Structure 1
C-alpha cells in the first residue's frame, strides 16, 4: 500500500467514525476504502480489520454519550451482552444478502420520512415491559446477527429500532445504539481474529483515526440534538441504498 492510499484510508476511517457516532453506517465509507486501498485483501480480512477500527470508534462514542446524556441501560445493557454472542455467530456465517438489505433500508427511509415526528421527542408511554423485551431481542439478536454477517447500516437499524419500539428520541436512541454496536463489533472481531482475518497494524492505525472522528461526531450530535441526528440518518440511509443498489447492479 503506497502512502497516498494509506492517507486516503485513514481519512476514510476518521469520516466513518464521525458517521458511526452520529447515526451508524460508517462501514459504507470504510469497507470500500479498504478494498480499494488493498485490492488483493480477502473480504473476510477486510471485514475483520474494519471491525478492529469500528470497535474503537463505537466504544469512544458510547462512553461520550454515557457521560453527557442518559442511556437506558435496562434496554442497552442486555442487548449489548446478547449482541456479542449473536454477532460472533453471524461473523462465523459471514455472507451478503443485498436484495433483502435494500428492501429493509427503503422501508426504514419511508418510515422515517412519513413519520416526521418520529424521534424528535421521546415517547415514554411506549417503554412498557413487553416493548423493552422486544427491543432487546431485535437489537441484541436480530440486528447483531446481521452485523456479524455483513453489517452495512447496523447502527442506523439500531437507532430506528430503539426509537420505534421503546419511544426514545433520536439522540438517546443513538446513545443506546453505540453501546449495542460496540458489543456487535466485539463479537465479530473475536471470530475474525480467531480465524486470522485481521491486519492488526493497519487496523490499529485506522482505529486511532476512527476514534478521533467518533469523538467529534458524538459531541456534535449531543450539541445539535435529535433533529440533526434525524437528518444525518436519512442521508446515510439514502447513501446506503445507493451503494448497495450499485453493488447489486454490478453483480448482475
Structure 2
C-alpha cells in the first residue's frame, strides 16, 4: 500500500486527537475510524476495523498505565472483567464479517440517547464517588455488561465503547468519572487486544499504517490521561456530553444516508 505524505499526516493528526479524546472519556474511534473510512472508501470494513484496533491498543495501553500510576484500581473487579472482555471482543470481531453494522446502528443510537438523558438528568453523576453502591451483585453486573456486551460491541463496531464502559462504572458502582476512566482504559486494552488478534489472524490489519497511527495515539492518550487527572471529573463530564452528541450526530447521519439510498 502506497500513501502520499499529506494523507499520512492527516491520519496521524486524527489519531493524535483520537488518543486524547479516548483517554479523557472514550469515543476515540469516533475520530479515528471515520478518518480511515474517508481515506480508503473502497477498502474492506474488516481491514479498516483491524487497523483501527492496532492504533487504538497503543493509545489505550499508554492511558491505562498513566491512570494506574495515580488512580487506585479495584483489581478483584477488574481482572475478571478483563478476561471476559478478551473473549467478548474476539467474538465480536469474528462476527464483524457476518453481521451488518448498519443494522446495529439504530440500537446504538437508542443506547446513546439513554446515556445522554441519564447524564443530563443527573448532573452530579460521576462527580464524586459513591462507595455504598459497590455491592457484589453490582460488581457482577459490571463484569457481564463490560466484559461481554460492551466488549462484543467493541469487536464488532468500536466507536463509543469507552463511553459505555465509563457510564457502566459510574452508574453501577458509583465511581467518579476519573476513576471510571482509569478502569475503563484497562478493560479497553483487553477489548482492543481481543479484536486485534482475530483481525490479525484473518489478515485484516495494515501493520505499518496502524503502527504509525498508534504512535500518535500514544502521545494523545498520555496527554489526555494527564489532562483528565489534572482537570477532574467535572471536566470529564463536559467532554463526555460533547462526545456523546457528536457520536449521535455521526451515527444518525449514517442511518439517514442509508435510508435515503
The alignment's TM-score, normalised by the length of structure 2, stands at 0.95
Q: Is the 8 A contact 1:6 1:37 kept in 2?
A: no
Distance 1:105 1:73 in 2: 28
Is 2:24 the partner of 1:22? yes
Following TM superposition, the consecutive aligned residue runs of length 4 or more in structure 1 with deviations greater than 4 angstroms are: none
Greater displacement, 193-202 / 62-71: 62-71
> How far apart, in 1, do the equivalents of 2:35 and 2:169 lie?
30
1:156 to 149, 155, 163: 163
Partner of 2:153: 146
Per-residue Cα deviation, 1:180-223 (whole angstroms, up to 9, x for no partner): 00000000000000000000000000000000000000000000
> What CA distance in whole angstroms lies between the structure 2 residues aligned with 1:236 and 1:129?
31
Cα deviations across residues 158-187 of structure 1 (Å, max 9, x unaligned)?
000000001101110010000000000000
CA distance in 1, matches of 2:236, 2:168: 14
Any residues of structure 2 matched to 1:175-186 within 5 Å, and which? 175-186=182-193
1:91 alignment partner in structure 2: 93
1:86 to partner: Cα distance: 0.8
Alignment map for 1:43-192 (pairs within 5 Å): 43-94=45-96, 95=99, 96=101, 97-192=104-199
Distance 1:220 1:184 in 2: 24
Aligned to 2:253: 246
Q: CA deviation at 1:37?
A: 1.6
Q: Deviations over 1:53-104 (max 9, x none)?
A: 0001001100000011112222222111110111000110014111000000
Structure 2: runs of 5+ lacking an equivalent? none
Residue by residue over 1:104-152, the C-alpha shift from the partner in whole angstroms, topping out at 9 and shown as x without a partner, is 0000000000001100100000001111111111101111011111122
Give the root-mean-square deviation of aligned CA atoms: 0.8
Q: Are 2:217 and 1:210 equivalent residues in the alignment?
A: yes
Cα separation, 2, equivalents of 1:160 and 1:123: 14
Name structure 1 gaps, 5 residues minimum: none
Secondary structure of the equivalent of 2:69? helix
Equivalenced residue count is: 252
- Name the residue aligned to 1:230: 237
User: In the TM superposition, what whole-angstrom CA distance separates every residue of 1:10-56 from its partner, at most 9, and x where no partner exists?
Assistant: 00000000011011101110111111122232110000000000001
What is the deviation of 1:248? 0.6
Partner Cα separation in structure 1 for residue 63 and residue 209 of structure 2: 21
- Provide the C-alpha distance between the structure 2 equivalents of 1:71 and 1:251, rounded to a whole number of angstroms: 42
Aligned residue in 2 for 1:5 = 7
